[in-house]
Structure 1
Amino acid sequence: MAAQGYAEGQSVNRPPLFDGEDYNYWKTRMEFFLQGLDFQLWSIIEEGDLVVLNNRENWTDDDKKKISLNCKAKSILCCALSKKEFNRISVCKSAMEMWEKLRITYEGTDKVKESRIDILVAQYERFQMQPGESITQMYSRFTDVTNGLAMLGKRYDMGDMVRKILRSLPASWTPKVTAIEEANDQKRMSLEKLIGSLMAHEINMERLGESSSKKKHNNALKAVEDTSGDESDGDKSNGSSEDEEAFLSRRLQRILAKKKYQVSGNVGGYSTAFLTAE
């Protein structure tokens, strides 16, 4: 059960497996793996098999060691390929020939390589931070471009890449860009230091934005409460006015109630009314 769950890439003793996907990623990992295992193995792949001049019956211990390393380099490459990829290089006689066959298959000839470099260089020159993109996301896209160029043999110096990232930032970052340019020598500044400074500034901007949003929210709530308070005061004022009117009405009714009209009878055919006050 443990062997079945043992994933490729978790051991320094197992080469990374290539199944035809993402050749550049596999090539870089394979290079590191071989160099870490035995740097002479990587030299065999880059420069060709170690030369043995003696006939087999006259092999010395040093000759046998060279032949063993040549075979080991081929064996490791074979172990790093799926069946489909192994079929591509199965007729190759040396590890260098196997490696070159894979390179041409997935990177193309020198002309194709130059075309790919032109495409990536254009992407590098037009590179800009996208709206809504974080510093981490922007830097990930940037490294995809620069790593692709490096694998094809095209490299930019550190100062050029630092300036490129600073130029790619939007206008809202201008104060920070100016501060970095004034405080640092861009030719000596590392990308890691630059990205760390930009990420710290991004966090501060987010915190200030949240604080401003919270303040606006509190002000809105206060305005609503003030409006409600004004309405309550108006209700109290209306209530007071209504109470005053009711008081005056009751007072008037009491005054009128004190007076009565009495009819005493008829005098000469006319009705006579006497107004008496109690």
Structure 2
Amino acid sequence: MTSTAFRIGGDLTIRRLGFGAMHLPTEPVQARETSRAVARRAVELGVTLIDTAYLYGGGANEKLLAEALHPYPDGLLITTKVGVARSGPAGEWKLDGRPAVLREQVERALLRLRVERIELLQLHRIDPGTPLADQVGTLRDLRDEGKIGRIGLSEVGVDELDEAREIVDVASVQNRYSLLDREHEPVLAACEAAGIAFLPWRPVAWGESGTNAEVAAVAAEVAATPTQVALAWLLGHSSVILPIPGTARIDHLEENLAADRLELAPAQRDRLDRLSEVA
């Protein structure tokens, strides 16, 4: 039986199947109301990990989650990301890991989320224009000040992960990964070896799973949807994987969260495993 729980950083127990809030619209008014309802339903269904970021609407997504869920129930982890800012020449979004920018974004996220500490704060991307030691070191300092509980990284390679871990404990990695997209398998292996949570974004390949004949065949055999099969495969592939599928619809949310009750037979897993050879 696949375990449904994981301890991030060795001490923060959460349900492995979480929710990515990126797709929740914050306007117009009716869409915002629906988004709040989706977030609340996720918590009702037992989600304890919700992922957001400053990039998602310049903090609007964080505000939405606070509106919907604050005061937060015990055990709910809302993780956010910093390190992307409108600091391009024309005010466009760009990677920005300068210490002053990271510090300001964390301070503002605390206000938007209405918390005194962000239990898991992730660096959205590594800014190639700023030394990694400065970026990770700033997050370490904020952790030491009590404003961050645990530190994560996003879209990193093995070497970058190793370099960051020489500076600070890394509790999570959030890379693109799915049944049909296993480019970051080496990073996943490094996370497994170190007990680091691996949060795949785009975990169901945005619908591509449904067009794959083998995935569709397995789904028919187990009376599930291709999306559920893709999520169940992830949960069984590695005990450190914490998928965060996102949606703006309650029916899709309920479908996604039922995936951790789906058991795939060894032979079915073998067939899905082999998809990496042709992906």
More strand by share: 2
Q: TM-score range by the shorter chain?
A: under 0.3
The alignment's TM-score, normalised by the length of structure 1, stands at: 0.23
The alignment's TM-score, normalised by the length of structure 2, stands at: 0.23
Structure of greater Rg: 1
More helix by share: 1
